[in-house]
């Protein structure tokens, strides 16, 4: 039997880079703002999940960050997308669209044959 909770978690995990890059593409983002936007979309993410992804995207040259002073504490790290990040995001979007189309086609075909 399929562990549906685990399957759903794995599906969400697989699209986080696409979602994170899409959020940051709209403008510089602070990690807690990214988490909030993901949670608003029912993609539950915690800092322990987000930071490794942000670091990996930065290491790949897709993101950069800068420190900004905060009125309520220490300086904060804000992430911005780079040009290679925009190219990667566009590739991810194209692949995501194709993937969703393929999955939907598979589901429709299976339903039609039953």
What is 13-33 written as a DSSP string?
HHTHHHHHHHHHHTS-B-HHH
pLDDT for 69: 93
pLDDT for 81: 98
pLDDT for 113: 54
Q: Any idea where the domains of the chain sit in the sequence?
A: 8-113
> What is this structure's pTM?
0.85
Nearest to 35 by CA among 27, 48, 26, 25: 48
CB–CB of 68/13 below 8 Å?
Answer: no
pLDDT for 11: 82
Low-confidence ranges of the chain (pLDDT < 50): none
Class of domain 8-113 (CATH, top level): mainly alpha
pLDDT for 101: 92
């Amino acid at each position: 039997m399929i562990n549906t909770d685990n399957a759903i978690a794995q599906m969400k995990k697989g699209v986080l880079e696409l979602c994170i890059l899409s959020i940051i593409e709209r403008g510089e983002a602070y990690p807690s703002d990214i988490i909030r936007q993901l949670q608003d979309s029912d993609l539950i993410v915690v800092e322990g999940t987000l930071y490794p992804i942000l670091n990996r995207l930065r290491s790949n040259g897709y993101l950069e960050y800068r420190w900004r002073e905060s009125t309520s504490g220490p300086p904060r790290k804000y992430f911005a997308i780079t040009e290679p990040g925009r190219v990667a995001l566009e590739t991810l979007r194209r692949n995501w669209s194709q993937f969703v189309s393929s999955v939907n086609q598979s589901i429709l075909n299976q339903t039609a044959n039953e």
